[in-house]
Structure 1
Amino acid sequence: MPEPADLRVLLLGYGFAGGWIHDPLLRATPGLTVAGVVTGDPQRRALAARRNPDAGLFETADAAFAHGGFDLAVVATPNSSHLALTLRALDHGIPVVVDKPLATTAEDGQRLLEAAERAGVTVSVFHNRRWDGDFGTVRRLLDEGVLGEVHRFTSRFDRWAPGPTGWRDESASTGGGVLLDLGSHLVDQALQLFGPVRRVHAELDGRGGRASEDDVFLALEHTCGVRSHLYASAAQAEPGLRFHVSGSRAAYVKRGKDVQEERLLADELPASGISGVEPRERWGRLHDGVAAEPVETAVGDWTGYYRDLAAHLRGDGPNPVPVTDALAVLEVLDAARRSATDGVVVEPAAPAAAHRTAGGVR
């Protein structure tokens, strides 16, 4: 049963993101309760009801907004609907979490930023990969100076899906493609570590009967001088290194993905961050040119995003991922698309600094 002081959350969408990522994280976060779920799918409605017996179930967003009584809306729907649903929530004065990407273009992201400022209502973006254990390990090594002066950062998300699998394979104009889906995470992490980008080169390829790109490469030149090489692919039967960070003293290499997603998909409810503990055999390694030693992976904790957000909504802390951060990501992604289309290096239109946030992983 929800506590009287719990913030009542409306979850818009109950597919992969809504049902298997946001719902368990919300249920695991003290002070938040899933009070409403919007989905038109009968099977998903039944699953939502089993997990959240006290929640209202709605077939449409219109019905949910008409019902009212919510303190937070979570937009976990296909990318093309993020803009409209977020604007609807703001019209009702409801704070919003938008699953990444904030929108499909920087222009639409700017519209959301301006709408949130006019409404005086919080909009936060679910860039949950800031709370990955492996990313937290990279951040820790940088903070401790173990790697020395970093000159190249290589990061990739690889998966194997040789044919179309759903709306994510639709055209880029409707929010499909791995640039928005996986590239959003990669760019956000690079901005968090190394700050704004001054130049972007990109290669986008599509294959396998998809209407959008399924294999992308981005080369970013940060204003600090670090170069980030980012890869996102749905066409890799054998994944490459997740991270390869090269510095003047040492290099850090890491294989495999953060463990939290696979455990959430196994319906393991997070408890005190335990779902983000990585076994020793999956740890990365630190190389100094002579020898290599294992580096314990930081504990990943996606619930940290919602804990920080709940504190913010109660006036006790900053927005964990403000719209300005997500807009900076979209500016880089837009530049990448222009680079790939025109075959040129592109300067992002108005690069906004993505400020490193404290915490994220413990």
Structure 2
Amino acid sequence: MNTTERDTLAVGIIGLGDIAQKAYLPVLTALPGLDVRLMTRDASKLDRIGAAYRIAHRYTDLEALVNSGLQAAFVHASTDQHVPIVARLLQAGVHVYVDKPLDYTLEGSRHLVELAEKSGLSLFVGFNRRYAPAYVEARQRPRDLVVFQKHRRGCAENVRTAIFDDFVHVVDTLRFFAPGEVEHVDVRARVHEGRLEHVVLTLSGAGFTALGVQNRVSGSTEEVLEVSGADAKRQVLQIADVVDHDRHPTMHRRGEWVPVSRQRGLEQACQIFLDAVRSGTILSARDALRTHELCEHIVEAIARSR
């Protein structure tokens, strides 16, 4: 076996829905040193996507994929399938990158984190905003006050699903930006006929407040991050354009040729995971679990308030 073959990673992509097709396949198939293998139960989709990317290794069965000599996997299956799929991969000695959330329940999420730790394997949760360049730069600025708005149009839905599938990004981003230990948590929400319409989360500690707002019936899809402190303010619009406020606002638009995957931190997250697999570094999902714990707290707080 030559050096190139020895350094090649056998990487599975499990689940070929929108997120895999739009975000991950373009990134992973462009990276060198990967032997990409696809898995979905939809045979026609499998063949179509496999042919488009010239990927020969295609599986409709998880066990067959695992037994092919898999070293790492990206799990993009539906959330309700995360626990059985990720658990099987970890049991087989495969390092795992999984879309958020780990599970709709805290019990399921905790089980996967503990299983990865027991197995000595990486479990990486795809909170890509932690790696988006505009957010990484904003985090280096004074941030006594953080306001993060992530709105939706026509998306009122079941509370647990809305919080864990979508608002989880708001929760994790606020935790990422909090400049100190969170000492107080406050939750306010509107639920109409069992469907979450809006939610407001406040995290605060010594000298800072972080406010997360989501209106799921706002009329538009919008994401705005604002950090301020020390008489300075920066806004990030749609994870891309930056506005600095110093008497007069100054707009800095993203480069025209910057790929969306890099702008949103997906490319960087994939590279961090793959570099860890290659180097033997174990990535823990313990901090990601804290975000899931806070999401569970939010769900319970909304239930108590109704």
Q: TM range, normalised to the smaller chain? A: 0.7 to 0.9
- Given that 2:225 and 2:236 are in contact with CA atoms closer than 8 Å, whether structure 1 keeps it comes out as yes
For 1:100-111, list aligned pairs within 5 A. Answer: 100-111=100-111
Counterpart Cα distance in 1 of 2:39 and 2:155: 31
Counterpart Cα distance in 1 of 2:34 and 2:189: 40
Gaps of 5+ in 2: none
Counterpart Cα distance in 2 of 1:292 and 1:78: 41
Counterpart Cα distance in 1 of 2:211 and 2:10: 41
- How far is the alpha carbon of 1:331 from its aligned partner? 1.3
Query: Do residues 152 (structure 1) and 145 (structure 2) align?
Result: yes
- Given that 2:135 and 2:236 are in contact with CA atoms closer than 8 Å, whether structure 1 keeps it comes out as no
- How far is the alpha carbon of 1:317 from its aligned partner? 5.6
- Give the 3 Å change call, closer, same or farther, for CA 205–11 of structure 1 in structure 2: farther
- Given that 1:39 and 1:60 are in contact with CA atoms closer than 8 Å, whether structure 2 keeps it comes out as yes
Counterpart Cα distance in 2 of 1:336 and 1:323: 20
The amino acid that maps onto 1:14 is: L
Counterpart Cα distance in 1 of 2:231 and 2:59: 56
The amino acid that maps onto 2:270 is: Y
- How far is the alpha carbon of 1:72 from its aligned partner? 0.6
Counterpart Cα distance in 2 of 1:241 and 1:16: 20
For 1:284-299, list aligned pairs within 5 A. Answer: 284-288=242-246, 290-295=247-252
Counterpart Cα distance in 2 of 1:318 and 1:88: 18
- Given that 1:105 and 1:334 are in contact with CA atoms closer than 8 Å, whether structure 2 keeps it comes out as yes
- Counterpart residue number, 1:186: 170
- Counterpart residue number, 2:45: 44
The amino acid that maps onto 1:116 is: A
- How far is the alpha carbon of 1:225 from its aligned partner? 3.5
- Give the 3 Å change call, closer, same or farther, for CA 342–190 of structure 1 in structure 2: same
- Given that 2:151 and 2:223 are in contact with CA atoms closer than 8 Å, whether structure 1 keeps it comes out as no
Counterpart Cα distance in 2 of 1:74 and 1:200: 33
- How far is the alpha carbon of 1:86 from its aligned partner? 0.9
Gaps of 5+ in 1: 164-168, 259-277, 345-362
- Give the 3 Å change call, closer, same or farther, for CA 122–212 of structure 1 in structure 2: farther
- Given that 1:153 and 1:228 are in contact with CA atoms closer than 8 Å, whether structure 2 keeps it comes out as yes
- Counterpart residue number, 2:60: 59
- Given that 2:97 and 2:273 are in contact with CA atoms closer than 8 Å, whether structure 1 keeps it comes out as no
Counterpart Cα distance in 2 of 1:82 and 1:136: 28
Q: TM-score, normalised by structure 2?
A: 0.84
- Counterpart residue number, 2:25: 23
- Give the 3 Å change call, closer, same or farther, for CA 206–49 of structure 1 in structure 2: farther
- Counterpart residue number, 1:202: 187
- How far is the alpha carbon of 1:88 from its aligned partner? 0.7
Query: Do residues 215 (structure 1) and 208 (structure 2) align?
Result: no
The amino acid that maps onto 2:275 is: A
- How far is the alpha carbon of 1:54 from its aligned partner? 3.1
- Counterpart residue number, 1:330: 292
Aligned residues: 294
Q: TM-score, normalised by structure 1?
A: 0.72
Counterpart Cα distance in 2 of 1:17 and 1:33: 20
- How far is the alpha carbon of 1:287 from its aligned partner? 1.8
Q: Secondary structure at the match of 1:213?
A: strand
- Superposed CA RMSD in Å reads 2.7
- How far is the alpha carbon of 1:112 from its aligned partner? 1.4
- Give the 3 Å change call, closer, same or farther, for CA 20–291 of structure 1 in structure 2: closer
Counterpart Cα distance in 2 of 1:56 and 1:104: 31
Counterpart Cα distance in 2 of 1:309 and 1:118: 19
Counterpart Cα distance in 1 of 2:191 and 2:62: 33
For 1:192-271, list aligned pairs within 5 A. Answer: 192-194=176-178, 195-206=180-191, 212-221=195-204, 223-239=205-221, 242-255=224-237, 257-258=238-239
Counterpart Cα distance in 2 of 1:326 and 1:85: 18
- Given that 1:23 and 1:34 are in contact with CA atoms closer than 8 Å, whether structure 2 keeps it comes out as no
Counterpart Cα distance in 1 of 2:113 and 2:202: 27
**1:249-291 deviations in Å (ceiling 9; x for gaps):** 1122233x23xxxxxxxxxxxxxxxxxxx5xxxx332223x32
Higher strand fraction: Structure 1 or Structure 2? Answer: 2
